[in-house]
């Protein structure tokens, strides 16, 4: 079994990765402040830890906040992966760099494959695209794994927020013209583990099957949690102003992973599993 080192191990995906690899072999989990990926000393720390694989789940993920602090976002999302790639190069490790569907502009009706040119819009998206490029310029043994609309344990994801808002307000307004791939963090962890075994480096879109609007996602969650009678008004994104305009249709296609037999189940099945795990315990 490989020695896996996970950065950002306290984050939503980091926790799912840590529990997946926990029983599989040697596991090292790094969290900040002890292990800050913007610190150049992280290069030496990786080399000393001498893992077989580093999975970088650390990131500045506050998309709206990044607009006001671009330097900070680029430090974490671009310089961080560069340092980790340098550390991997020093000890012969593979890097799995987690990235985002937002590296694409997300034009209406488009479905994005791994081979397409990126077209990032927001500061966050540009910093993540820069992270992909920095890692690729430094290391050959590199998987770039783009995910989207993550949900899992904890309260900082869309289904958890929708559930809390439903309990608080008794009625909801949800955007119906923004589309993505709702993706269950534990499913990503399982798919990453399979991908690592292939040694077929490159770019992958590891998302749950199917796409949804935020409205579809919210109403399915309410149905699965027995609250289908709760009134939900579909609204357009312009009625829900934000400091950044999210890509309307940054929907990813898992072509490269599927070619290797790595398929993630439909998001509705994953959401069902999430509800069983998070709501019935
Ligand atoms: N969430 C989504 O819907 C989504 C969608 C597409 C792509 N992604 C990508 O998926 C990955 C994981 O996202 P997530 O939702 O798990 O994010 P998350 O819950 O915000 O976790 C990110 C983790 O990174 C850590 N971190 C931040 N700055 C750091 C630094 N300088 N050094 C070390 N650690 C640092 C944070 O530490 P603290 O715990 O101390 O804050 C946090 O634990 C990211 O690459 C993100 O860009 C996420």
2-53, pLDDT tens digit by residue?
A: 999 999 999 999 999 999 999 777 999 999 999 999 999 999 999 999 999 9
* 97 Cβ below 6 A of ligand 1: no
* 13 Cβ below 6 A of ligand 1: yes
Asked if 32 and 9 touch (Cβ cutoff 8 Å), the reply is no
Banded pLDDT at 1 (limits 50, 70, 90):
confident
Options 112, 124, 184, 204, the catalytic residue: 124
Could you say which DSSP state residue 229 is in? Answer: T
- Provide the pLDDT for residue 173: 97
CATH number listed for the domain at residues 4-155+181-209+249-267:
3.40.50.720
Which of 33, 57, 157, 254 should be mutated for ligand 1, with most atoms under 8 A from CB? 57
* 146 Cβ below 6 A of ligand 1: no
| Annotation says 124 is catalytic | yes
Mean pLDDT of 170-184: 97
Q: Please give the full DSSP string across 43-96, using - where no structure is assigned.
A: HHHHHHH--SEEEE------HHHHTT-HHHHHIIIIIHHHHHHHHHHHHT-EEE
- Provide the pLDDT for residue 94: 98
Distance from the CA of 165 to the center of ligand 1, in angstroms? 23
Question: Per residue in 96-153, pLDDT tens?
Answer: 999 999 999 999 899 999 999 999 999 999 999 999 999 999 999 999 999 999 999 9
Tell me the chain's radius of gyration from C-alpha atoms. 18
């Amino acid at each position: 079994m490989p020695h896996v080192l996970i950065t950002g191990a306290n984050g939503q995906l980091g926790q799912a990765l840590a529990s997946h690899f926990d029983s599989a072999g040697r596991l090292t989990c790094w969290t900040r402040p002890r292990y800050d990926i913007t610190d150049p000393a992280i290069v030496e720390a990786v080399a000393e830890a001498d893992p077989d694989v580093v999975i970088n789940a650390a990131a500045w993920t506050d998309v709206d906040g990044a607009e006001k602090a671009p330097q900070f976002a680029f430090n974490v999302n671009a310089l961080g992966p560069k340092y980790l790639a340098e550390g991997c190069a020093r000890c012969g490790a593979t890097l799995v760099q987690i990235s985002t569907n937002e590296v694409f502009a997300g034009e209406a009706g488009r479905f994005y494959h791994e081979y397409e040119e990126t077209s990032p819009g927001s500061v966050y998206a540009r910093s993540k695209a820069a992270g992909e490029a920095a890692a690729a310029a430094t290391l050959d043994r590199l998987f770039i794994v783009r995910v989207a609309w993550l949900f899992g344990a904890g309260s900082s994801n869309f289904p958890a927020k929708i559930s809390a808002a439903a309990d608080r307000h008794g009625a909801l307004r949800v955007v119906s013209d923004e589309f993505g791939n709702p993706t269950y963090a534990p499913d990503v962890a399982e798919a990453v583990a399979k991908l690592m075994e292939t040694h077929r480096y490159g770019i992958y879109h590891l998302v749950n099957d199917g796409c949804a609007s935020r409205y579809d996602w919210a109403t399915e969650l309410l149905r699965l949690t027995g609250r289908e009678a709760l009134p939900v008004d579909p609204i357009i994104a312009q009625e829900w102003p934000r400091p950044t305009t999210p890509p309307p249709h940054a929907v990813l296609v898992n072509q490269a992973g599927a070619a290797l037999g790595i398929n993630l189940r439909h998001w509705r099945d994953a959401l069902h599993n999430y509800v069983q795990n998070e709501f019935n315990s």
